[in-house]
Structure 1
Amino acid sequence: MSGDDVRIRTLVRAFADDEFARWLVPDQQHRHEVYRGWFGMVVPRAEQHGEVIVGADGLAVQVWLSGRDGPPSILDEEGDRRLAELAGPRMERFREFGELTAANHPAEPHQYLAMIAVDPSVQSTGVGGAELRRALQRWDAEGLPSYLEASSARSRNLYLRLGFRDIGTPMVLPHDGPTMYPMWRDAAQVSAPT
């Protein structure tokens, strides 16, 4: 299996059946098809405008986008068109999510953690936190703060432990959707070696 396939597989396995995914696309079979296609576009876009970090033998995948020049976009226009073809009438939910998050996205230069996926076989083992700490150390060394939207109270608690703080108010997605928690982490001061 190629590296891209491993990344997409991990993203789908980690996210395709969570509360947010069920809100976006309720039908499981359609959801898995949409997610495979969506992540297949997100990964190369992030490689061009950010970074995809794979760790733990492909069982953890971080998708970072550069927010150095303003709020980043996870897909370009062609990607949006292709996603609309895949999602069909469910595309309206993707648009609602995108509009809500764009309206709340900070303008200050930062690194944007669009997604961190941990394969279900190693969730709750500390793998995700360890992988994320390594990425945050890199951004600290560059003096870059980080931003994300936590998709659950549980993930919010992990991010709080890693130095993120809530900014603004939680975003409640329409149509009885889940709550997203916008969070910011200032770059930690890194001591120069002596």
Structure 2
Amino acid sequence: MSKPLEEHQQALAQLSAHAFADDPITSWIYESLSDRTQLLAQGFQFAFMEGISNDTALAAFIDDTVVGAALWHEHTHVDKKVIPDSPFTQRLQAVEEATNARHPMFNHLYVPVVAVHREHHRQGIGGTLISAILAVSDVQKKPVYLEASSHENRSFYQRYGFRNHGNPIIIEKHGPVLYPMLYS
């Protein structure tokens, strides 16, 4: 595991897009789009560009292949506005509004992405990525907040000391559920 370089940005974005393609939240946002992975990769490309330049991205490698990725940043209460001109942008805005409303009001690190290549699940890569972020939080003396998108992910984060942080976040009626979690 190491800090990724700019040359890894596309591989990190592709890995994350594939890891999140079947996620309940992204499946709900991009409900019927056949190009979900491509749209996710575009968003992750920008996120990893920012993370690499801010030194808040991690990559796990086997040989020279990216098999894991993570992003974190200090949370600010700046609302990102999405112009609701299509069903997917309306849903994206609904997720952003619901999650922004539930972030802790105190200074914390936010983890929006932990992704591991499907062929490398259950090999300790995700745990290594989370442990590295928790080490940063310990040095900075800041708690870490994230939203788990499934019971399986929630159980994973609990093994690393995350606890539930309030009630689940329900995104609109009949929408997906997120589980806010905090490590402190």
TM-score by length of 2: 0.85
Per-residue deviation at 1:46? 3.3
Which residue of structure 2 aligns with residue 144 of structure 1?
Answer: 142
Preserved CA contact (<8 Å) 1:49 1:66:
no
Letter in 2 for 1:71: H
CA distance in 1, matches of 2:30, 2:139: 39
Tell me which of 125, 140, 164 is aligned to 2:162. Answer: 164
Q: Does 1:59 align with 2:64?
A: no
- Could you tell me which of 47, 55, 60 is aligned with 1:42? 47
1:53 partner SS:
strand
Provide the secondary structure at the position in 1 that maps to 2:101.
Answer: helix
Distance 1:141 1:3 in 2: 26
Matched, 1:20 2:12: no
Structure-2 change in CA distance of 1:102 and 1:50 (3 Å): farther
Contiguous gaps of at least 5 residues in structure 2: 1-5
Unaligned ranges ≥5, structure 1: 187-194
Structure having the larger proportion of residues in helix:
1
Change over 3 Å in CA distance of 1:135–1:60 after alignment to 2: same
In structure 1, give the amino acid aligned to 2:73.
Answer: L
State the percentage of identical aligned residues. Answer: 26
Deviations 1:18-69 (A, max 9, x none): 22221111235231221122112222233456611112342111110112xx
Aligned length in residues: 176
CA distance in 1, matches of 2:56, 2:176: 27
Alignment of 1:82-161 (within 5 A): 88-161=86-159
8 Å CA contact 2:116–2:125 kept in 1: the answer is yes
Cα distance, 1:179–1:40 mapped onto 2, change above 3 Å:
same
Superimposed CA distance per residue, residues 136-179 of structure 1 (whole angstroms, 9 cap, x where no aligned partner): 12221221211101111111111111111111110011242221
Letter in 1 for 2:157: Y
Task: Write the letter of the residue equivalent to 1:8.
Answer: A
Aligned Cα RMSD in Å? 2.3
Please give the alpha-carbon distance, in whole angstroms, between the structure 2 residues aligned to 1:132 and 1:148.
Answer: 11
